[in-house]
Amino acid sequence: MQDCGIVQSLGVGIPGSDSPCTLPKEFWLDKMIYFKNKSAEAYFISRTNVPATYSIPKLERSLGLPEVSSN
């Protein structure tokens, strides 16, 4: 992945296919902020049907970089 420019990836290990959809937006916000990486140029949340899209403006302000979601 580093050859493609990805500096860090994180799998949060949530069991089940529907469980991630039920987690509050704060869960995703906290994970992204906790794993802030000074080498990053942007952040990407790759999971459908999670409420992360509601946190994008706050994430961008907190991280100081663009944030993209697959939703």
Provide the pLDDT confidence category of residue 10 given band limits of 50, 70 and 90.
confident
Q: Which residue has the higher pLDDT, 40 or 47?
A: 40
Evaluate if residue 56 carries a pLDDT over 80: yes
- The whole-number pLDDT of residue 61 equals 92
Domain ranges of the chain: 21-69
State how far the alpha carbon of 58 is from the alpha carbons of 7, 45, 54, 55, 70, in Å.
22, 14, 8, 5, 17
- The whole-number pLDDT of residue 68 equals 84
Q: What is the mean pLDDT of the chain?
A: 83
Say what the pTM is: 0.73
State how far the alpha carbon of 8 is from the alpha carbons of 16, 18, 19, 24, 67, in Å.
24, 25, 23, 23, 14
